Amino acid sequence: MILDYDGTLTSEEAMVDDLARLSLDTLSQEILRVPRPRLEEEYGETRRLILSRPHQFGWEVRGLLAAYSDEGAFILNTTTLQVMLKMNPLYSRRVGEFFREAEYDPVTDCTNYLFHRHTAELKPRFRQGAKEIVSGLLRHERSIPLILTNSKGDKVERNLETSGLNRVRILGDTRQYDMDPSWGRRFFHPEQGMTRSLKIDEHHKVDLRRPIYYQALVREAEGGEEMVVVADTLSLPGALPLVMGMRFYLLKTSYTPSWCEEFVKKHAQGEVLESLPSLLERVGFDEGGKVC
């Protein structure tokens, strides 16, 4: 069972304001070199613009949409920063000067840098039931729990150790956001045929061109009877497992958009969790950690 870390085991909605504050501090002092109040005002204006039509904005990587803006609290922050930096020529130029040897493009590298740097500085806010879920899976005689994250494994490992969960393996740096326009792999869908994107509704479709994440899923599935993925968003961690025939549990949170929830509910391999502790009911632990 693969458990997503940010937003699934942790309450990212309780951490995102601090992440945004630290990111604006770094932008103001180190990268853009502009007054902090000006940045905060522009951040707020950009965020309001995005939320007025969230299906038109998202986290972009290599010209492809990795996730829609309203899918997660951290995703909305990243999208807001990306749009703000791209819309202002001065900001774009100074970001380009700071990230001269960008892996993706200067703006994407900048927002990735801000996320990894500052989430590592934040004290984790674990969701209710997170420790019980992981501990139960570790005791379960037929399960192998893995913690899924786009972050480097050291941050997650350190945070798990503080909760006494240092025995679980971390599947880190999976780059669910790493989009590759040249990747030609197609997936069969009973209604949509062979496709590189999963149509959700008239306003949303999830691009499946994520070869690094795909390869990570294939490696972990080898030798296992069944692969289950549990996460709080659809586009990043959930869509690929669904088209690969894996079971996907979407954790419903305060920020879960209705279009994600409705799609997962209707999918034969999908299910929506009303809370993290309700996963225990699906797995069926007894007090000794054995399957009921």
- The structure's pTM equals 0.93
pLDDT of 282 reads 78
Polymer length in residues for the chain: 292
Percent of the chain with pLDDT over 90: 76
pLDDT over 60 at 175, yes or no:
yes
pLDDT of 140 reads 76
Judged by average pLDDT, the poorest of 8-22, 104-118, 126-140, 278-292 is 278-292
pLDDT of 242 reads 97
Q: What is the pLDDT of residues 190-234, one digit of tens each?
A: 999 999 999 999 999 999 999 999 999 999 988 777 889 999 999
Which domains occur in the chain, in start order? 2-10+126-283 (3.40.50.1000), 13-119 (no CATH)
pLDDT over 90 at 49, yes or no:
yes
Mean of the pLDDT values across residues 14-36?
98
